[in-house]
Amino acid sequence: MAQAFPEISKIEYEGPQTKNPLAFRWYNADEVIEGKTMREHLRFAVVYWHTFRGTGSDPFGPGTMIRPWDDGSDSVENAQKRARVCFELCEKLGAPFYAFHDRDVAPEGKTLAESNKNFDAVAKVLKEEQQRTGIKLLWGTANLFSNPRYMLGAATTCNADVYAFAAAQVKKCLEVTKELGGENYVFWGGREGYQNLLNTDMKRELDHLARFFHMAVAYAKEIGFTGQFLIEPKPKEPTKHQYDSDAAACLNFLRAYDLLPYFKLNLETNHATLAGHTMQHELDYAGMQGALGSIDANTGDLLLGWDTDQFPTNIYLTTEIMWTILKWGGISPGGVNFDAKVRRESFEPIDLFHAHVGGMDAFARGLKIAAAIRADGEFDKFVKQRYSSFDSGIGADVESGKADFKSLEAYILAKGEAAPNASGRQEMLEHLFNRYI
Ligand code: XUL
Ligand code: CO
């Protein structure tokens, strides 16, 4: 097949001084940081849906993207051709992974059997290309939200037939993900939520969702799929209230239904901010509970209240993310997955390269800055000192479980007043953070 991007050769690391926009200034795949290469830390992945199926359409107008390799048809041949283009892009970027929904890579047929046949035909090409290039599948997932049958949800629908369809679709997607050596399997709760509680039995819907996840875990075991299951939180859009609204809600759900041993979280920046959190908050919250699985790397827009899925270029953001990921020991077998789309106005094929190169470089730079912050240890020292009253005496009794309300009362009655507080020094610390940027 002729190249889709003949004018672009492999993107190389040229160092911070280069003026070449299609070169890495910071992402030097083999450079070792904290004992691992950048490639191993970052595990970059290209998403199939935005990058190869995004048309640039919005509620006010049709698609704008120029994609010369795509004939615009829903044929299996076109899908197979597109699959090969995905690998050309990943190879030229040096991205070691990709991720897909079943319905992005292969057209949906008139029946489930026909859809499965289409999926197999494209999976055959994906496998060939994986073997040719060494590029791997970070995760697979089933699209349980686009087809109108899923308008009321999939695993949380009120329609048992729709529930059965969704289960069958996930069954097939697990089989294909296993066949392609997928390292994770993601559930993003597309329409798993509600628009209105007047027509919704929330308890029953959540019970059904938990049953669904238990069935997925059981089937994975049966077929020998050993990838990590991930849930991707998002608070709203398309429904008004998504059940998997943020990290804390997901972890509570998983714990309540005995699913915690089988799942971690796939955290996405734009979803975190829609939930009223920072990405760093979500990462830290998941990390402290051993549930930090993978990230969908993107960013929202401060002035827009929806999921704009922009490519991340903000160094503060990528530093905070990589700092927190390093803190919790990394994200493998997860990765940094660019769930991001070029703007409608960035319609030329080369914009796909500018977007990914910029995102990869921003993360590489964030990783280097985060490692420098950790090497100096100034923040760690400050925070450790801040909590030092819990290292000995009455504080240590609290942490060890030795103290109770009576002993704490006796202690403070004898003392008369608590020791004075120390300043939080927020401004000093924010200034210190800037020193590394
Ligand atoms: C939607 C979203 C999805 C998931 C995969 O906001 O992020 O693309 O990442 O279903
Ligand atoms: Co996502």
Q: What is the Å distance from ligand 2's center to 147 Cα?
A: 18
Which residue's CA is the nearest one to ligand 1's atom 7? 339
Partnered with residue 44 across adjacent β-strands are 336
Instruction: For ligand 1, say whether the CB of 320 is within 6 Å of any of its atoms.
Output: no
C-alpha dihedral (371, 47, 81, 179), degrees to nearest 10:
90
Ligand 1 atom showing the smallest separation from residue 188 Cα: 10
- At 321, is the secondary structure helix, strand, or coil? helix
Which one-letter DSSP state was computed for residue 195? S
Q: Which ligand is nearest to the CA of 234?
A: 1
Which residue's CA is the nearest one to ligand 1's atom 5? 188
**pLDDT-above-70 percentage for the chain:** 100
Report strand pairing: 184-188 vs 228-232.
parallel
Catalytic positions, written as ranges: 101, 104
Measure the N-to-C terminal CA separation of the chain; round to a whole number of Å: 44
Q: Do 279 and 321 form a contact (C-beta atoms < 8 A)?
A: yes
Q: What is the sign of the dihedral through the CA atoms of 50, 56, 57 and 60?
A: positive
**Which residue ranges in the chain fall short of pLDDT 70?**
none
User: Residue 131 and residue 123: Cα distance in Å, rounded?
Assistant: 12
Residue 289 has a pLDDT of: 97
Residue 1 has a pLDDT of: 84
Q: Do 212 and 166 form a contact (C-beta atoms < 8 A)?
A: yes
Among candidates 111, 252, 215, 230, which has minimal Cα distance to 182?
Answer: 230
Residue with the two structure tokens 């699209």: 143
Among 105, 234, 270, 282, which is best to mutate for testing ligand 1, by the most ligand atoms less than 8 A from CB? Answer: 234
Among candidates 255, 313, 251, which has minimal Cα distance to 25?
Answer: 313
- For residue 183, give every residue at least 6 positions away whose Cβ sits within 8 Å of its Cβ, in sequence order, or none: 97, 136, 137, 138, 139, 227, 228, 333, 334
User: Residue 231 and residue 271: Cα distance in Å, rounded?
Assistant: 12
4 is written with which tokens? 């889709």
Q: DSSP secondary structure string, 196-242? A: -GGG--HHHHHHHHHHHHHHHHHHHHHHT--SEEEEE--SSSSSSEE
How far apart, in Å, are the Cα atoms of 46 and each of 9, 51, 52, 111, 278? 17, 8, 10, 29, 23
Among 105, 268, 274, 307, which is best to mutate for testing ligand 1, by the most ligand atoms less than 8 A from CB? Answer: 268
Q: What is the sign of the dihedral through the CA atoms of 30, 35, 39 and 40?
A: positive
Q: Which ligand is nearest to the CA of 297?
A: 2
Among candidates 283, 247, 268, which has minimal Cα distance to 341?
Answer: 268
User: Residue 360 and residue 358: Cα distance in Å, rounded?
Assistant: 6
User: Residue 192 and residue 204: Cα distance in Å, rounded?
Assistant: 12
Q: Do 300 and 341 form a contact (C-beta atoms < 8 A)?
A: no
Burial class (CB in 10 A: 0-12, 13-18, 19+), 429: middle
Which amino acid does the sequence have at 148?
A: P
Report strand pairing: 241-242 vs 292-296.
unpaired
Residue with the two structure tokens 């077929």: 223
Instruction: For ligand 1, say whether the CB of 309 is within 6 Å of any of its atoms.
Output: no
Instruction: For ligand 1, say whether the CB of 102 is within 6 Å of any of its atoms.
Output: no
Cis bond leading into 333, ω under 30°?
yes
Which residue's CA is the nearest one to ligand 1's atom 4? 188
Phi, psi dihedrals of residue 269, rounded to the nearest 5°: -55, -50
Residue 171 has a pLDDT of: 99
